[in-house]
Amino acid sequence: MSAGLSRIAYAFPRGRATLAELAARGQLSTAPDTLGRFGFEQVRVAIDETPYGLALDAARTVLERVDPESIDLLLWAGMPSAAAFQAPGARGRSVLGTLDRFKFPGTRLQSELGLLRASTFSVGELACASLFGALRVARSLIASEGLRRVLCVASEFFPEEAGREALFNCTSDAACALLLDAGAERNRIVAQAQVTKGYYWDCEGSREEIVASYFPTARHVVTEVLEQAGWAPRDVTWVVPHNVSLRSWEVLLGLLRLPRARLFERNIARNGHTLVGDNFINLADAIESGDIRPGDRLLLFSYGFGAHWSALAMEA
Amino acid sequence: MPSPSDSPAILVTGATGLVGASVLREALERDAGLRALALVRTWESGSALRRSLGDIGRRVCPVLGDVRTPALGLDASLRRQLRGRIGHLVHCAADICFGRTLEQARSVNTAGTAHALELAAELGPQCRFVHVSTAFVAGRSVGSIPEGRSTGVHGFVNAYEQSKHEAEELVRASSRPFVILRPSTIVWDGRSGAVTQVNVVHRALWMYFGGLVPMLPGDERTPLDAVPADWVARAVCRLGLDPQFAGRTFHLCAGGAAPSLRALFDVTDEVLRTDPQFRRRGVCRPEVVDLATYRLFERSVLEIGEPKLVRIVRGLATFIEQMTLPKTFETRGVEAVLAEPAPPVLAYWPRMLAHLVSTHWAGAREMQVAA
């Protein structure tokens, strides 16, 4: 049974910060002009929003004119536990009691959205590849259990005290919601591949090895997904990226022997790299702008610290 | 020291180096009556050289000197003593560090050769000049590289190549009877079954083993030429010490039998994957990309400034462009003379890798620290 993304929605917080502003606040570890050369201009920063609040906004948007009781499964792929309910200023100050630890954003979302038939659980430890993991589980359950409609929601804020940079990438806060429908013809998932290398679980301790392993492993997982899809690299109409540095995409496109013109790159500068959902936010924007048209062959790739390399082949 | 009654001796420069030491051993083993002078920088290294040669080391007389100085630093009385008694000056000394400036490289490789030629002239007309060069005097030339004179018109990847090319020109311009021998990259010693001198190839393999080489520029079909030290030593003695080859230039290379980069990667990956640590790290084989993509990666690494990666790309930068300049060294001359062609690289490559893994790339690690 094939499945496709019938709807995509996302929500950003109200705040924005330029590289110069982030540097002035001491939230970058790399010089802003270097990050500028890498394609970044600004990031989205939560002020008083909460990850859960943004997730609720995105999910409500994606479910407009959708019967909530048609949802068979809700997969939460964002911040775990009650941390998702806290605004940036509050985080780190409150101590969670025993029962607070079982206040889950996924089940609260199920309740508030009225998804009365939807069983709910969380997909975790995939970082920026979380929604890829959620889609993988969703597709699998559509195929094995006959589910018809799955809602995948993710929301992540970068910890305020951690700055706004992860290994030379400028990070944003955001939420994203996807509706995966069995038999949907639009944005049909043709193939999916993931490689996990737990050796790189310690991101700080392995930073140089991660930089080095990123490219060949990315090429490997992309090659695998294209083979599964039966496509040659030249068949790819658009590469829909996660918003890591444009420079790293230029290098990766060189490895893949794909021209830069195929990369939907405009959101890297204006959105920065969200910890969830870059590829799908970009996909929604590219469809909205008319850049991506029905029938286009799409390659989505994301890397999640931990370490996961994930790729999707989709037909728009 | 050879006496007037002795048959002519040989004088070897770079006698403690990879090629020089191997040539010295081979020459002494081939001719039980041969005596040799070994140019060394310190008495300690001279003593160590004699000890390493065992019994035949007794026929070696270390002489203190330095190729960077006129007459190789030998004083006038010693030169007078040696006049008419040296049959071959085998010039193996070289600075093989690719990261040197042109001035530094020339001071050893070009000026050193000029000094050696001057000394050979002073030692008398019987003294033939055996010049150990490098196949990479071909520099940026691509395609089939003839065994004759290299023009240098395509330029060079590093100062080592240029300084060795200039040294060859000096040899050709001299009035000495000469033989020029051009080994390719020496990666293995079949005699000892070990890597006796770590070079950039071993260092690159160590980085690969450590998962720190994501990509290399070039084409997987590019031939990668390499030879073992013991074969080079035999070839130098056979071709260099035989007067009939005067004026000739020989490639001591795998030539047309050099494996492609892809074949070498296949074998390398297969061998390294037998190491549990390597497998656990899930290291991918390096991607082979166009030069523009590699340069972009290189520039990015320098911009982000991660120290280990910066050292690696800077180390590779001294020779990596050669990977984009596919060439096959012609070996017709060598094949016509030697009964023994260069051993197939893939025949000893797995043993070389196994040796490197078992010794934890000790030498390559030292190079990394020094880089």
Give ipTM to 2 decimals.
0.90
Looking at the 3D structure of chain B, how many domains does it have? 2
Identify whether B117 is part of a domain: yes
**B72 and B184 assigned to the same domain:** yes
Dist. CA B220–CA B208, nearest whole Å:
16
Q: Give the CATH number, domain containing residue B125.
A: 3.40.50.720
Predicted pLDDT at B368: 43
**B283 and B248 assigned to the same domain:** no
**B97 and B136 assigned to the same domain:** yes
Which positions in chain A touch B285 (Cβ < 8 Å)? 216
Which positions in chain A touch B300 (Cβ < 8 Å)? 38, 247-248, 251
How many CB atoms sit inside 10 A of residue A121's CB?
A: 13
Quickly state the pLDDT bin for A50 (edges 50, 70, 90).
Answer: very high
**B156 and B273 assigned to the same domain:** no
Q: Could A207 and B306 be called an inter-chain contact, meaning their C-beta atoms sit closer than 8 Å?
A: yes
**B172 and B218 assigned to the same domain:** no
The secondary structure of A133-169 as a DSSP string is HHHHHHHHHHHHH---EEEEEEEE---GGG-SBSSS-
**Cβ(B259)–Cβ(B345) below 8 Å:** yes
**B78 and B93 assigned to the same domain:** yes
The secondary structure of A47-85 as a DSSP string is SS--HHHHHHHHHHHHTTTS-GGG--EEEE-SS-GGGGG
Tell me, what DSSP letter sits at residue A101? G
Identify whether B155 is part of a domain: yes
Dist. CA A226–CA A191, nearest whole Å:
8
- Residue B124 CA, chain-centre distance (Å), reads 28
Q: Which domain holds residue B216?
A: 200-223+259-326+345-370
What is the pLDDT tens value at each position of chain B, 371 positions in all? 655 456 679 999 999 999 999 999 999 999 999 999 999 999 999 999 999 999 999 999 999 999 999 999 999 999 999 999 999 999 999 999 999 999 999 999 999 999 999 999 999 999 999 999 999 999 999 999 999 999 999 999 999 999 999 999 999 999 899 999 999 999 999 998 989 888 889 999 999 999 999 999 999 999 999 999 999 999 999 999 999 999 999 999 999 999 999 999 999 999 999 999 899 999 999 999 999 999 999 999 999 998 999 999 998 999 999 999 999 999 999 999 998 999 999 999 999 999 999 988 876 555 443 33
**Cβ(A55)–Cβ(A153) below 8 Å:** yes
Strand A15-18 to strand A42-45: parallel, antiparallel, or no bridges (unpaired)?
antiparallel
Predicted pLDDT at B50: 95
Predicted pLDDT at B339: 87
Is residue A4 pLDDT above 90, yes or no?
Answer: yes
Residue whose pair of structure tokens reads 């972009």 in the numeric block: B296
Quickly state the pLDDT bin for A85 (edges 50, 70, 90).
Answer: confident
Q: In what order do the strands lie in the sheet with A119-122?
A: A119-122, A73-76, A149-156, A174-182, A3-11, A188-196, A308-315, A297-304, A238-241
**B177 and B319 assigned to the same domain:** no
Identify whether B336 is part of a domain: no
**B90 and B134 assigned to the same domain:** yes
- Token readout for A254 is 């060189």
Choose among B125, B178, B126, B118: nearest CA to B7.
B126
**B308 and B273 assigned to the same domain:** yes
Predicted pLDDT at B366: 52
Which positions in chain A touch B316 (Cβ < 8 Å)? none
C-alpha distance from A220 to closest chain B C-alpha (Å): 8
**B133 and B242 assigned to the same domain:** yes
Identify whether B195 is part of a domain: no
Q: Could A215 and B214 be called an inter-chain contact, meaning their C-beta atoms sit closer than 8 Å?
A: yes
Which residues from B are below 8 Å from A when comparing CB atoms?
A: 210-215, 280-287, 289-290, 292-293, 296-297, 300-301, 303-304, 306, 308-309
User: How many beta-carbon pairs under 8 angstroms link A with B?
Assistant: 71
**B118 and B75 assigned to the same domain:** yes
pLDDT digits (tens, 9 = 90+) for A183-210: 999 999 999 999 999 999 999 889 899 9
Predicted pLDDT at B3: 56
Instruction: Compare A99 and B369 and report the one with higher pLDDT.
Output: A99
User: Can you give the pTM of this predicted structure?
Assistant: 0.89
How many CB atoms sit inside 10 A of residue B274's CB?
A: 12
Identify whether B334 is part of a domain: no
Map out the domains of chain A with their CATH numbers.
Answer: 3-182 (3.40.47.10), 188-315 (3.40.47.10)
Dist. CA A299–CA A285, nearest whole Å:
15
**B116 and B181 assigned to the same domain:** yes
Predicted pLDDT at B370: 35
Dist. CA A159–CA A30, nearest whole Å:
18
Q: Could A219 and B287 be called an inter-chain contact, meaning their C-beta atoms sit closer than 8 Å?
A: yes
Write the residue in A34, A216, A251 that is nearest to B284 by C-beta: A216
Identify whether B339 is part of a domain: no
Q: What percent of chain A has pLDDT over 90?
A: 86
Which positions in chain B touch A34 (Cβ < 8 Å)? 303-304
Identify whether B15 is part of a domain: yes
Which positions in chain B touch A212 (Cβ < 8 Å)? 211-214, 309
Q: Could A215 and B285 be called an inter-chain contact, meaning their C-beta atoms sit closer than 8 Å?
A: no
Predicted pLDDT at A94: 58
Identify whether B26 is part of a domain: yes
C-alpha distance from A254 to closest chain B C-alpha (Å): 5
